[in-house]
Amino acid sequence: MIDWANKFLQAFIPLFVAIDPIGLAAIFLGLGQNLPRERRHKVADQAIWTGGLVALGFLFLGTSIFAALGISVSDFQIAGGLILFVIAAKDLLSSAAESEKLPEDFGVVPLGMPLIAGPASITTLLVLAQNQAVGVVVTLAALVVNLVLVVLALHYSEWLGRRIGPTGMRAISKIISMLLAAIAVAMIRQGWRS
């Protein structure tokens, strides 16, 4: 049981950092602030379904897709790490005053993809699933738990925003972006070694 818990944590923690439910709640709160509550919940559900299905698709079909394209997980690690680093750097350097123009229906893009199921989470899923110590079943369990946390974070984003406050949400998001940048560097290094 302790061995399984250790394996679960080895899969859960990198996925938690890559998906970043608290950072997603902050982004969702900012993007959906002018939407009525019912519409916000619909957009949250749309984002979760989109991100979850894309992540599951890559978990089970990712290596086949890569084989068909003639790329390896190492190639995807390097590419995903570079993209992830750019995303993390952009978030770290962006100002809170800057706002992006998004369509009212932003659940699929950018929330579902690439924020929930993006380069970081997809690469992390593939690397964990191929890791002999972790495997597909433990990776799937860690993904499900992380998606449940995303559901809770998005549906309770208003409550979370009031408790932590806008400054706290930005601080947590920046810390997670820093961790994301470090994970990106590690992914590039691991991909380069493979």
Going by pLDDT thresholds of 50, 70 and 90, the confidence category of residue 98 is low
For the stretch 136-178, pLDDT in tens is: 999 999 999 999 999 999 999 888 778 888 788 777 777 777 8
For the stretch 5-48, pLDDT in tens is: 999 999 999 999 889 898 888 778 877 777 888 998 999 999 99
- 85 vs 105, higher pLDDT: 85
User: In three state form, how does the secondary structure of the chain look?
Assistant: CHHHHHHHHHHHHHHHHHHCHHHHHHHHHHHCCCCCHHHHHHHHHHHHHHHHHHHHHHHHHHHHHHHHHCCCHHHHHHHHHHHHHHHHHHHHHCCCCCCCCCCCCCHHHHHHHHHHCCHHHHHHHHHHHHCCCCHHHHHHHHHHHHHHHHHHHHHCHHHHHHHHHHHHHHHHHHHHHHHHHHHHHHHHHHHHHC
Share of the chain above pLDDT 70, in %: 93
Q: What is the mean pLDDT of residues 95-116?
A: 70
What's residue 193's pLDDT?
86
What's residue 27's pLDDT?
78
Please count the other Cβ atoms lying within 10 Å of the Cβ belonging to residue 90.
10
Residue type for position 107: G
- 19 vs 85, higher pLDDT: 19
Going by pLDDT thresholds of 50, 70 and 90, the confidence category of residue 102 is low
Going by pLDDT thresholds of 50, 70 and 90, the confidence category of residue 114 is confident
What's residue 95's pLDDT?
61
Going by pLDDT thresholds of 50, 70 and 90, the confidence category of residue 111 is confident
Domain ranges of the chain: 2-193
- pLDDT of 194 > 80? The answer is no
